[in-house]
Structures are given as structure tokens and as C-alpha cells.
Amino acid sequence: MLNDTLESMLKLEDFYLISSNYLNESIDNETRSTLAVWMLEVCEQEDCTHEIFNPAMNLFDRFMLSAKHSQLDITKPYLQLIGCTCLFVASKLRSHKPLAPLKLIDYTDNSISLIDLLELEILILQKLRYDSDSICANDYLSIYLSKLDIEHVTGVDDVKRHFYAFTALCSTEIQFSFYPSSMLAFACLMCALNGLRNSIELECGKLGSKLVNVLSNYTHIDVDCLELLTESVNLLLGKSAPCALSSEPICCNVNVKVGNKRSSTCSSVSSTSSLMELEYTNISSYCLTPPQANQLPQ
């Protein structure tokens, strides 16, 4: 059963990858990161970070890419409305208690209206052809822990807590959106295990090799790309990486062996952000420019 689940997830995850960059002069990486951090804080306030945040960011990226392809002119004033709506949709899909729309509006300091949110929900679903859920990095954690036979070891709760924090942080940087969720989950799990190596009696190197062998039964894993991604996550966390990342993009293909063969191309991550460099904004005081009613392009 577990093998069938992993196989199905690996086959499906490529459908939810971001195939190209939608950023432009108006909406750049810094703007997206600022919005993502705000969305993360909302999830933290509502105690739903590891269930909702990553799917919401995937929804946001996929909608923005779809809007670019449809030549919809989406500017900064609409970003907070889009972010709120993605949180609302993701909470319906992933949480037993969906986020209250009026509570989300309150987090924006009432800069959006309920009608705006509900109308945009329909537009997002239409643009994504109602394929609103996705395979995210957090979905792999329980499977990976089981495959490594460490789901019941002492300290595994700390591993989970660190893993969820790392995947959330990666979602605030668009560079990580180009990697398959299975690879991002691998990198974040290795970073979590390595960071806790002094408090749990596990040999991280052997666990990493074992997990690569497990994944290689279903996909063609580029080990160099996995190492690069793990170093990139370490850089994002402000840790010292074994070697500097190349500034040149490195492509890695993950081709599913079973069923219909599909591939996805991922670019290297060269982020130098750290936890200390992220500027967390107070939710109650921060909001983007309020959008005018009914001005979002149809």
C-alpha cells in the first residue's frame, strides 16, 4: 500500500510544478517573498502552517503563471487578495476546519471585501480547471520516515517540526517551486536530520543513501541535483554549505519509470537568504494597496 501511494504521488507531482517564471518588473521575487511571509504568519496565527501554507503557495504560483499565459494584467494591489483567496481554497482542501473568510479579511486590515474574495475564488478555480489540490513536500514526510524505519525513534517529533519549518521557508522563495516536491522533501528531511544529529542517534549519510535508493526504484534520481538542492536549503537556513553553489543554472530531470513517462526540468537555486534576513511584518499593520472593487481582469 505504501509503495503504491509513493508511486502514485511521484507520477502526479509533475502536474503541479511551475514550468516557467511568471515574475516581471511589477511583481518581482522580493514582492512575492513579502506576500509569502505574510501568508505564513497568517497560517501561524491560525495554527495551520504545515497543512495549508505550502498548498496555498502552490495555488498562488500556478494561478499567477496561468494569468501570465492568459495575459491578465495582475498588479501589486491585487496580490494580497490573491494570497488570501489561495489560503481560503487550500484550507478547504487540506484542513478539517477551513479558514473563516471574514477572519482572513480582518488580517488584511479590511483592505479586501468578501465579494472580492469569493469572486476571485471562482476565477482561480476556473483558471486551474478546478484542479486545485497538489502534491506538496509535506505529503512525503510520513512515507519517507516509514521507508527509513525512523518514524518511532526518539526525537522524531523534533525532526518533523524542523522539516515543516524548512519546507515552509522554502515556499517563500520562488526558486524552490521549480523542484519536484519529492526532491524538496528529501532535501528538507536531510537538513532536519543533520541539524539534530547531536540529539538523535542516526547516521544521516546512510539514511540519505537509503532514501535515494528507495526513490530510485520509481524515478531516475539525479544525485548531484539532490546534493545541490540540499546545499541550497542549507544556504537558505543560514548554514554553511560544503561548497559554494554555481551561479549557472543546473538542470535535472526526474523521469517516472512506471506508467506514462514524464519529465520535469528544475533550475538550480542560488538564494543567499537566511532566517535572520527575512523581515517578518506585523500582520495587524501590514497590507498591500487596497484593490478597487471589481477591477480584477476577467
pTM: 0.77
**Domain boundaries, given as residue ranges, for the chain:** 19-127, 137-277
DSSP the chain: -HHHHHHHHHHHGGGGS--S----SSS-HHHHHHHHHHHHHHHHHTT-IIIIIHHHHHHHHHHHHHHHHTT----GGGHHHHHHHHHHHHHHHH-SSPPPHHHHHHHTTT-S-HHHHHHHHHHHHHHTTT------GGGGHHHHHHHTT-TTSTTHHHHHHHHHHHHHHHHTSGGGGGS-HHHHHHHHHHHHHHHTTTTS---HHHHHHHHHHHHHTTB---HHHHHHHHHHHHHHTTPPPSSPPPSS---EE--B-SSS----EE--------GGG--PPPTTT--PPPPPTT-S--
Q: pLDDT tens digits for the chain (298 residues)?
A: 778 888 899 889 989 998 899 998 889 999 999 999 999 999 999 999 999 999 999 999 999 999 999 988 888 889 999 999 999 999 999 998 899 999 999 999 999 999 999 999 999 999 999 999 999 999 999 999 988 888 887 788 889 999 999 999 999 999 999 999 999 999 999 888 887 766 666 666 677 778 787 777 777 677 888 888 888 998 888 843 333 232 222 233 333 333 333 333 333 333 323 322 333 233 233 333 333 433 443 3
Fold of 137-277: Cyclin A; domain 1 (1.10.472)
Classify domain 19-127 by CATH architecture: Orthogonal Bundle (1.10)
Domains 19-127 and 137-277 share a fold: yes
